[in-house]
Amino acid sequence: MHIDLPQTEQEKLTQQAMAAGFDDVKLFIAEHLVALAHQPAREDFAPLSDEELEASLAMIDRSMEEFSAGGGLTLDQAREKSLELLKRNLL
């Protein structure tokens, strides 16, 4: 795939990539395009039932408790792990 962008947009994307911790702007753009390609369409979202909403909120509460207790990943750790997975999938 080839995408033509004006120089100003290329510079902006390069700055955003560096600020996000990417050494390679192509990986930064690829990560965003993969996320966009997998994003469900609005019409695919159905409203949650009361039971589903309650279960979802309970899951969020449990995750927050786990993170507060020292579990989970920091933002930098999650970013690094995502970059590793992306690099493996692109190679």
21 and 4, same structural domain? yes
Q: What is the pLDDT of residues 38-78, one digit of tens each?
A: 888 877 778 889 999 999 999 999 989 988 888 888 888 88
51 and 89, same structural domain? yes
Residue-wise burial string across 47-58, b where 16 or more C-beta atoms lie within 10 A, e elsewhere: eeeeeeeeeeee
Provide the residue range defining the domain that includes 70: 46-91
38 and 60, same structural domain? no
The pTM of this model reads 0.46
Provide the total of helices (H) and of strands (E) in the chain, helices listed first: 4, 0
5 and 20, same structural domain? yes
Closest alpha carbon to 25 in 39, 11, 36, 37? 11
